């Protein structure tokens, strides 16, 4: 009697266990781990809506080979520790195949080892860390694989776009002024690299404290060094003060290349009268209205924007972040369609995609580039009539 009871228990457990697995294979879970609250919460909000749109579109077509996609949304609070906990939950409890997010650099870097250990590819927002030829070969040397993607143009590539443009316009001497931060240091290193490659001379290298109030000392040093163009990853208020200081020391005509974080109407308002010769870089979705009709990307962006408005009744706060979320989900969906739910296979497949059609731009990923937005997918932007427009 006792034995039979035990056998019954075992078979019941087995039923639950395998039944559970059977249930799990009905849907495929993709994680969405973005900072949804706090100062930059709106960014995560736009991203999540992008993810939802991509997943809804594939589910409406019957899912992937009959399996529906499920999204598990978590708030990382843009805090590295919370992001780590969220990733553990997504991997262990939700059995997420891949994760869209997180947003900020520190969170992105904190979850990196976790993703590698459990072979879960993820697609971040942050532009402030390297997943390119400077880092990825190291992985190969160590016999490891990098599971991090990021669908923003990133500091290295945007500085390349700026340097090429400056060279094309005939500028020769670059003055570099960067905030005292990881991002600023990376930007300086990248300017050095691209200046060497494309033939610009860096005549001044300055730093400034973003909490400071006046940077005319640094600006006049740049002027004294004879710079005819300025490069900086400054953004927001500090960037505004920098531009004002540039104008004050009499360098109004010297173009200043700033961070892509400045791509907002708010920044233009902050600048007030000082909008002349201020530039940044954007990927195609930011200047969709200016694309040639022959550009295949134009139709993709229009379709994306229409279906987004249809689903949510209104546009996002920023098409840029909505498209980052959308493309993050889209790349995993396409990968799962192609190679199934194995994390390592998804990752390997993604690494070999050339001109992958996303809403933001065409991505070309490779073992040397996990961002994939090429120089041809971005443009230098200037301010004209209170708007950011492409500077040809």
Partner 1 sequence: MNTLSLYIQFVISGLTMGSIYAMVGIGFSFIYRVTTVLNFAQGEFLMLGGMVAITMTSVFGSSLGLALVVGILAVTITGVLFHLGGIRVLGKAEPVRMILITIAGSMFLQGIAYLIWGTDDYSLPPFVKAGTIDFFGASINSQVLPVVGAAVIITAVLKFFFDKTIWGKASAACAESYEASMLMGINVDRMGMLSFAMSAGIGAIGGILISPIALMQYQKGVPLAIKGIAGAVIGGLGNVWGALLGGLIMGLAESLSAGFIASYLTDVVVFVILMLVLFLKPEGLLKAKA
Residues at the site binding partner 1, with contacts judged by CB under 8 A: 39, 180, 206-209, 211-214, 216-218, 220-221, 223-224, 236-237, 240-241, 244, 247-250, 266, 270, 272
Q: Which is nearer to partner 1, 214 or 376 (CB)?
A: 214
Instruction: Give least dist CB 79 to partner 1, A.
Output: 16
* Residue-wise burial string across 369-381, b where 16 or more C-beta atoms lie within 10 A, e elsewhere: bbbbbbeebbbbb
Instruction: Give least dist CB 249 to partner 1, A.
Output: 6
Q: Which is nearer to partner 1, 180 or 338 (CB)?
A: 180
Q: Which is nearer to partner 1, 29 or 274 (CB)?
A: 274
Instruction: Give least dist CB 144 to partner 1, A.
Output: 33
Q: Which is nearer to partner 1, 221 or 298 (CB)?
A: 221
Burial of 392 (0-12, 13-18, 19+ CB in 10 A): exposed
What residues contact 37, with CB distance under 8 A and at least 6 apart?
Answer: 75, 77
- The per-residue DSSP string of 295-337 comes to -HHHHHHHHHHHHHHHHHSS--S-HHHHHHHHHHHHHHHHHHH
The span from the CA of 339 to the CA of 360, in Å, is 24
List 201's β-bridge partners, or say none. Answer: 173
Instruction: Give least dist CB 270 to partner 1, A.
Output: 6
Q: Which single residue is written with the structure tokens 């589910």?
A: 59
Instruction: Give least dist CB 260 to partner 1, A.
Output: 17
Q: Which is nearer to partner 1, 39 or 352 (CB)?
A: 39
Q: Which is nearer to partner 1, 34 or 122 (CB)?
A: 34
- Tokens at 163, concatenated: 């340097």
- Tokens at 153, concatenated: 């143009």
Instruction: Give least dist CB 237 to partner 1, A.
Output: 3
Count CB atoms within 10 A of the CB of residue 73.
Answer: 17
Instruction: Give least dist CB 13 to partner 1, A.
Output: 52
- Tokens at 161, concatenated: 């776009």
Q: Which is nearer to partner 1, 123 or 126 (CB)?
A: 126
What residues contact 163, with CB distance under 8 A and at least 6 apart?
Answer: 174, 191, 194, 195, 197, 198, 200, 231
């Amino acid at each position: 009697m006792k034995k039979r009871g035990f056998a019954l228990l075992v078979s019941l457990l087995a039923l639950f266990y395998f039944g559970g697995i059977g249930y799990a294979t009905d849907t495929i879970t993709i994680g969405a781990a973005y900072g949804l609250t706090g100062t930059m919460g709106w960014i995560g909000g736009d991203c999540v809506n992008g993810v939802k749109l991509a997943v809804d579109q594939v589910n409406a077509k019957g899912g992937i080979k009959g399996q529906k996609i499920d999204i598990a949304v978590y708030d990382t609070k843009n805090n590295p520790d919370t992001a780590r906990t969220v990733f553990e939950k997504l991997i262990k409890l939700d059995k997420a195949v891949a994760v869209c997010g997180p947003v900020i650099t520190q969170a992105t870097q904190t979850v990196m080892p976790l993703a590698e250990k459990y072979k879960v590819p993820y697609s971040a927002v942050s532009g402030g860390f390297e997943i390119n030829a400077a880092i990825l070969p190291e992985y190969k040397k160590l016999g490891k694989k990098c599971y991090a993607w990021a669908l923003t143009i990133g500091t290295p590539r945007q500085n390349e776009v700026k340097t090429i443009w400056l060279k094309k316009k005939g500028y020769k001497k670059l003055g570099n002024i960067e905030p005292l931060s990881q991002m600023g240091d990376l930007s300086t290193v990248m300017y050095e690299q691209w200046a060497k490659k494309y033939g610009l001379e860096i005549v001044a290298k300055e730093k400034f404290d973003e909490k400071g109030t006046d940077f005319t000392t640094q600006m006049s040093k740049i002027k004294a060094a004879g710079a005819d163009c300025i490069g900086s990853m400054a953004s927001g208020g500090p960037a505004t003060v920098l531009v004002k200081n540039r104008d004050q020391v009499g360098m109004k005509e010297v173009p200043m290349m700033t961070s892509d974080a400045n791509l907002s109407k708010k920044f233009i308002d902050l600048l007030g009268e000082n909008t002349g010769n201020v530039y940044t870089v954007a990927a195609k979705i930011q200047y969709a209205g200016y694309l040639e009709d022959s550009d295949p990307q134009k139709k993709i962006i229009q379709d994306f924007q229409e279906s987004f408005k249809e689903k949510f009744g209104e546009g996002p706060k920023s098409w840029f972040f909505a498209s980052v979320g959308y493309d993050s989900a889209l790349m995993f969906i396409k990968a799962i369609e192609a190679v199934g739910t194995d994390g390592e296979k998804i990752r390997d497949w993604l690494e070999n995609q050339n001109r992958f059609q996303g809403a933001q731009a065409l991505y070309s990923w490779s073992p040397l580039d996990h961002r994939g937005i090429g120089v041809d997918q971005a443009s230098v932007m200037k301010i004209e009539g209170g708007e950011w427009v492409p500077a040809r």
